[in-house]
């Protein structure tokens, strides 16, 4: 998921066609040991973008090689968090924020939340929470079949973890395992149970299991640079924050801002019944990255 030749997303200038080499990857480093090889790869991408009259090609490396500067310009800035799992569990716990993380985990343990992990058998509970969460964010949920396809393709490398309070799903996360890394990819929760620390408990159990499996990194994923709440949440786990810059080669001018359209869409999504909100997700995510 995080290795490949070069990650690029290419939009068609004329038809809106999109080619995604690695779906939903936050980052991907180029597999090129020599600068001359990387230059050849980038030149090929530029050639295809021009030949097919595509709008742009996008690269998502964690670290920007100097050779990018000649062709690909910085476009979007994110933040990226990774937690080093090599210290002991006691050290990892002590490195967490005392009030915002440690106390939440202890509260969840006192509440005797039931935590289950698996795959398809937990998809309904996960998706139920996801619909609630995406509505709070004024967005439609990803199609349920998208998650089922992930489960079918990734098998034991994908785990859904759900915390229950009196048989009610309180929070859920979806993680992916890749080599020595456990990647947090999706999270969802019921706000009624936020004071119980259900989400914190799921993260802590994931970290514990990653340690037991001798993994070395817990990948918290990317965050929008302006999302201070999410950035603070990840910082408080002791994770290292670093910049993540996407670069583009573009042959078409950037589209004009349509913030007013997004505001109208957000209001609509926040009010749609669950069935219609899910239908909107099924339709729109065919055209979104």
* In the predicted structure, residue 17 carries a pLDDT above the cut 70: no
Q: Which residues pair with 82 in a beta bridge?
A: 219, 240
Least confident residue range of 125-139, 140-154, 222-236, 273-287: 273-287
Residue 25 resides in a domain: yes
Q: Count of domains in the chain?
A: 2
Predicted pLDDT at 63: 80
pLDDT in tens, 141-187: 899 999 999 999 999 999 999 999 999 999 999 999 999 999 999 99
**The residue to which tokens 């019944």 are assigned:** 273
Domain that holds residue 162: 87-215
As a whole number of angstroms, the distance between CA 249 and CA 59 comes to 9
Residue 279 resides in a domain: no
Shared-domain flag, residues 97 and 67: no
Q: Considering the entire predicted model, what is its pTM? A: 0.83
Predicted pLDDT at 3: 36
Residue 235 resides in a domain: no
What lies within 8 Å, CB to CB, of 285 at 6+ separation is 140, 142, 143, 146
Phi, psi of 215 (to 5 degrees): -75, 160
Better-scored residue on pLDDT, 64 or 16: 64
Alpha-helical regions (H) of 120-178: 123-136, 144-154
Which whole-number Å values give the CA distances from 209 to 32, 91, 181, 215, 216, in the listed order? Answer: 33, 15, 12, 9, 11
Residue 278 resides in a domain: no
| Residue 137 pLDDT level (bands cut at 50, 70, 90) | confident
Alpha-helical regions (H) of 123-222: 123-136, 144-154, 198-212
Shared-domain flag, residues 125 and 158: yes
């Amino acid at each position: 998921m995080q290795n490949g030749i070069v990650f690029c997303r290419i939009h068609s200038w004329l038809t809106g066609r999109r080619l995604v080499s690695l779906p939903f990857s936050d980052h991907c480093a180029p597999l090129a040991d020599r600068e001359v090889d990387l230059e050849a790869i980038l030149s090929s991408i530029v050639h295809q973008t021009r030949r097919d009259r595509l709008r742009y090609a996008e690269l998502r490396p964690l670290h920007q090689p100097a050779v990018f500067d000649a062709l690909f310009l910085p476009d979007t800035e994110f933040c990226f968090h990774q937690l080093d799992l090599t210290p002991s569990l006691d050290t990892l716990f002590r490195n967490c924020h005392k009030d915002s993380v440690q106390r939440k985990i202890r509260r969840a343990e006192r509440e005797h939340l039931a935590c289950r992990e698996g795959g398809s058998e937990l998809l309904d509970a996960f998706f139920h929470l996801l619909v609630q969460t995406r509505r709070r964010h004024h967005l439609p949920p990803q199609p349920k079949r998208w998650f089922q396809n992930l489960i079918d393709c990734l098998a034991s490398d994908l785990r859904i973890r759900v915390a229950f309070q009196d048989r009610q799903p309180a929070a859920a996360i979806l993680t992916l395992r890749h080599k020595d890394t456990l990647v947090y990819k999706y999270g969802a929760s019921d706000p009624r149970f936020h004071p119980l620390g259900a989400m914190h408990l799921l993260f802590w159990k994931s970290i514990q299991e990653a340690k037991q499996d001798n993994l070395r990194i817990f990948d918290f994923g990317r965050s929008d640079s302006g999302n201070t709440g999410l950035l603070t949440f990840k910082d408080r786990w002791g994770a290292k924050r670093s910049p993540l810059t996407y670069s583009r080669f573009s042959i078409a001018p950037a589209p004009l801002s349509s913030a007013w359209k997004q505001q109208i869409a957000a209001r609509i999504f926040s009010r749609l019944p669950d069935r219609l909100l899910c239908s909107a997700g099924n339709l729109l995510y065919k055209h979104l990255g």
